[in-house]
Amino acid sequence: MLGQRASFWALYLPPVCWVGLFFLVPIVLMFALSFRADMQGDLLSLWWPTLAQYEAIAAVGSYWRLLAISIVMALFVALLAVALAYPIAYFLVFRAGRAAALCLVILLIPFWTSFLLRVMSWKFLLGSEGVINSFLMYLNVIAEPLSGMLYSRKAVIVTLVYVWIPFAALPISAGLQRIDSDLLEAAADLGAPPSRSFWAITFPLSLPGVLAAFFMVFIPTVGEYVTPLLIGGSQGSMYGNIIQDFFTKAANWPRGAALSMVMLAVTLILVAVAARLVNVRRLLG
């Protein structure tokens, strides 16, 4: 028994210490930092906790507006990615047959290549002297380059949908696979037309997978900052970008820390909602 206990601690302490030190402690430090009035003095010096940063945030409408915009953008991205991925998942599970494994790999290859590169490729596609414009001008479809494709919220949404589609298809197809085919056969035997059996059986039973896909796209997208940085420019920035700015350009870390805490709170609420609605363990099998 002693050996078992020793093995337990040998396995337990390293990961818990690592995650504690490099995940929990930093977040606690940020929490503490958010109660600091300014950046005066050493990072380690003591300070009187103050709500000044949170009061400042509450008073500035543009932070909340950007947070709301980020949530709405993430909502659009998640809904579009799920809607576009659903037929793919359906195809993989019910139509692809023996080619399903191959089709899945083909679908996932773009997802496995570099995230930064996939986002960047859209920058090159959409730019005013970019691939799409120059191609259309080369074909004489347009005389002047279409401006305003890049550096907008729409461009950010399109790029993120593109990035997420293969990923969104995974939980949906996992959900579709769990549907008992006897139900579909019974519906067919009883003379239900295919569209009826889809809407009465397949679709409702696939909802857990759809919800999982929705949240797996929605939650990380709310906190996204790289895509708006590259594709959005100043017109298409998201909430994550103001956090980044306060830690880099503006160098007002306490404000950035308070904004991060708001972001963290929003994320954890979303995770809690998702955990209530989706039984992750059941979906994983």
Partner 1 sequence: MKIHASAAAIALPRPKVLTAYFAVLIILLYLPLAVLFLFSFNNGTSLSFPLQGLTLHWYEKLFDSPEILRAARNSLVVAVVSGSFATILGTAVALLLTRFRFRGEGFLFALAMLPLVVPIVVLAVALLVLFLTAGIDRSLWTVAIGHTVVALPFVVLIVTARLTGFDPSLEEAAMDLGASYRKIIVAIILPLIAPAVISAWLVAFTVSLDEFALALFLAGNEPTFPVYLFSQLRFASRLPVMIALAVLLMMGTLLLVLIAEWIRRRGQRGAVVKG
Question: Could you say which residues in the range 132-171 bind partner 1, by CB under 8 A?
Answer: 133-135, 137-138, 162, 165-166
The CB-of-84 to partner 1 minimum distance in angstroms stands at 7
Considering only 56, 201, 205, 264, the residue that binds partner 1 (CB under 8 A) is 264
**Residues 189-218: x where in contact with partner 1 by CB under 8 A, - otherwise, as a string:** x----xx-xx--------------------
Interface with partner 1 includes 68 (CB under 8 A)?
no
The residues near 75 (Cβ < 8 Å, ≥ 6 apart) are 218
The CB-of-12 to partner 1 minimum distance in angstroms stands at 6
Interface with partner 1 includes 237 (CB under 8 A)?
no
Query: Segment 79-138, which members bind partner 1 (CB under 8 A)?
Result: 84, 87-88, 90-91, 94-96, 103, 105-107, 109-110, 112-118, 120-125, 127, 129-131, 133-135, 137-138
The CB-of-225 to partner 1 minimum distance in angstroms stands at 5
The CB-of-207 to partner 1 minimum distance in angstroms stands at 19
